[in-house]
Structure 1
């Protein structure tokens, strides 16, 4: 599908940089920012801004598009407590014939395996995703549909017990589940509509290893239709031919805290990516994985666009190391609200003061930007800004020793360029792409409210 040409737009009486003015858009770019502009023809779409702020569209610097879209139609165990089996038993299979479940976390079920799931439901294939996104638990019916082991042995990520039996626990292998028939590529339209309604005009897909079909699906979905979004990809292999809309960012490399990679192999992977001219985005959640990531970057030599993804635990000495390397951090403040109580109850006591230290990293000159990690975090960037400001768990407990960040400062992170998270914010200025978000109120008032309700309209390239 070829996208329709953008209409010329004239935005009357909008606040730009604290001043009420007019903004003209032609062929997808801003061509004038000054009071008293008039439409040149009847074909121009004239919008009365009513004094509302016009800002660049927000960019979510880390989410997972396919998983987020699939989660919209999945059974959600969030808050289910002891009623989780009932939710699975009552769920209707999706179009693929599977029951897809997300939001599993109950500590008593962290060992959820095929036999436990079989007792809940065994009539259809069932897969349950841990809320962190890395682990799937499958019942026996689903497990039998997975590809059999190769002549070289079991597939990486498919767990077996001491007797050699598959346990039903599968780590980071959506590709295998898709081959089993349980993961048709989801329609992204509803997700794109939701993102646009939140004021988001671009996303960075942080999935590490999308296959060619998934890459084409994502790129095509975001570059066409009524709710286009700018796209930056962190996938390891990105074939040519995706078009100009999808850009390639750093290569995502996952460091799992439960199963750390070999240090030399990690360093070699970083070196190989750098030799190809491509920076790396290293998935690090806890202190141990962050130390290994920083060692690998020190040993291989860092690039200016290298990224640390998450950085949930960053003590002062590691913040200094990050600053010395000149790498940036993309993090998820909203998880302090959604998971803060669990963090405070389970994290190493030595690390409780070092959870999500946004202000600490900024003070050391580190480029840092907020993101959602959807579907594993709330998609709403305004919720992330509130969480970064308040630093409170759902039960009102203070998270870490770091200071809260003003909403305006967090907004700067969402406005930073996709290829430069945490850098200078984009501006509403002549020659810039018309990736715009119109708010219902002046900026000071909108930031005081800090709610998605302030978003009135968005445009991507004038569309």
Structure 2
């Protein structure tokens, strides 16, 4: 395949030939051969890679009732959302935050809906709330608050209908050619289930790195975590860190176990300034969500101590030469990488970055998420063709600029 008249690395017009092996075989001007695609002067980029996403939860999200602060603003609206659907059928609600209708448990949910099983997931993804009908149907008891019980609930609660093909098509339209699935304990056969997606796939725990989940309530000592890290070696680890204490334990543990290339801090929600040089010395990559302070700014302002701000650092990490990449964390945030880029640029807390840097957050490989790929001979032809030159695309940072997307030279969008 020959893609003509595109902008490559700022140079235009250029032609790009893709070989039968799905790799770029030639880049130049006026290449001989029949033109199959006229790029119209638009930029040809490496395809975007979402470095932290939860694909099964994202597919289930599409079949769920959305009850987050952006969707439901009052207790009455929350109740109305839960009462939607046919009587007796399961209701799966997602994105809940206490600002909508206060703290939930089985009694609170029973007062709203008692005639059908209801399960509500907290915005964090860590907590499920079940009403009495749902607990009874699942053979469970208790107050209806289940913390980190996804694996058990998977076997007790009827699954929702998942349309992974639709997920893959939407991601392709957004310019995404690869995912790193970040579930802490991937279900058996997950890679096979996700193989219907047209994108390239990395599954943490099956592929490198290994995900390590931390919660403050069950936080190991640095020595205990170091022992876990040693068991994983020589593979790198990706450690979930959303609080100050989680980060400190992680840094101590990695220091004790010895860092390896590819070790990652996932999220990095709270990174005290004094730990930034430490992160750099250990050679850790931070895979963050720069859009969360924009999406959740009101809640963070009231819930997070001032000493922990700014949250989800970007600019200060980049200026300290810490490798930095981004993931959407969908469905717990937007699934649109371009929206994440816009948020990263528009941050009002001093942590904003340039449009070029924001785009680079999604151009790395799963192994080196912070090293932006470049179009070069021999590289896989995982490509995102834009309608416009790069300069214009950086100005708007919108999926509306995406014209066509290729994985291994095969077009997957539109």
TM bracket, shorter-chain basis: over 0.9
Count, aligned residues: 404
RMSD across aligned C-alpha pairs, in angstroms?
1.8
- Structure 2 counterpart SS, 1:32: strand
How far did residue 128 of structure 1 move?
A: 0.4
Q: What is the distance in 2 between the residues matched to 1:436 and 1:126?
A: 42
**Cα pair 1:147 1:176 within 8 Å, conserved:** no
Q: 1:196-211 residue pairs with structure 2 within 5 A?
A: 196-211=172-187
TM-score (structure 1 length as normaliser): 0.84
1:22 aligns with 2:15: yes
* CA gap 1:325/1:65 in 2 versus in 1, 3 angstroms: same
Q: 1:144-223 residue pairs with structure 2 within 5 A?
A: 144-146=136-138, 166-184=142-160, 186-218=162-194, 220-222=195-197
- Structure 2 counterpart SS, 1:448: helix
How far did residue 166 of structure 1 move?
A: 1.2
Correspondence for 2:324: 368
2:231 paired residue among 258, 269, 272: 272
* CA gap 1:147/1:326 in 2 versus in 1, 3 angstroms: farther
How far did residue 92 of structure 1 move?
A: 4.4
**Cα pair 1:66 1:185 within 8 Å, conserved:** no
Correspondence for 2:409: 462
Correspondence for 1:378: 334
How far did residue 90 of structure 1 move?
A: 1.4
Correspondence for 1:422: 370
**Cα pair 2:361 2:369 within 8 Å, conserved:** yes
**Cα pair 2:63 2:162 within 8 Å, conserved:** no
How far did residue 147 of structure 1 move?
A: 5.6
1:139 paired residue among 112, 131, 134: 131
Q: What is the distance in 2 between the residues matched to 1:166 and 1:267?
A: 35
1:448 aligns with 2:395: yes
1:11 paired residue among 3, 6, 11: 3
How far did residue 100 of structure 1 move?
A: 0.7
How far did residue 340 of structure 1 move?
A: 1.5
- Structure 2 counterpart SS, 1:422: coil
1:404 aligns with 2:352: yes
Runs of 4+ in 1 over 6 A off after TM superposition: none
* CA gap 1:309/1:185 in 2 versus in 1, 3 angstroms: farther
TM-score (structure 2 length as normaliser): 0.93
How far did residue 284 of structure 1 move?
A: 0.5
How far did residue 110 of structure 1 move?
A: 5.5
How far did residue 320 of structure 1 move?
A: 1.3
Correspondence for 2:262: 305
* CA gap 1:108/1:414 in 2 versus in 1, 3 angstroms: closer
Correspondence for 1:106: 98
* CA gap 1:272/1:185 in 2 versus in 1, 3 angstroms: farther
1:333 aligns with 2:290: yes
How far did residue 144 of structure 1 move?
A: 2.4
Q: What is the distance in 1 between the residues matched to 2:114 and 2:81?
A: 14
How far did residue 175 of structure 1 move?
A: 2.2
Correspondence for 1:120: 112
Q: What is the distance in 2 between the residues matched to 1:174 and 1:142?
A: 15
* CA gap 1:462/1:257 in 2 versus in 1, 3 angstroms: same
Alignment gaps of 5+ in structure 1:
1-8, 149-164, 223-227, 239-247, 392-397
How far did residue 109 of structure 1 move?
A: 4.7
Q: What is the distance in 1 between the residues matched to 2:166 and 2:355?
A: 27
Alignment gaps of 5+ in structure 2:
none
How far did residue 262 of structure 1 move?
A: 4.3
Q: 1:29-48 residue pairs with structure 2 within 5 A?
A: 29-39=23-33, 46-48=36-38
* CA gap 1:185/1:232 in 2 versus in 1, 3 angstroms: farther
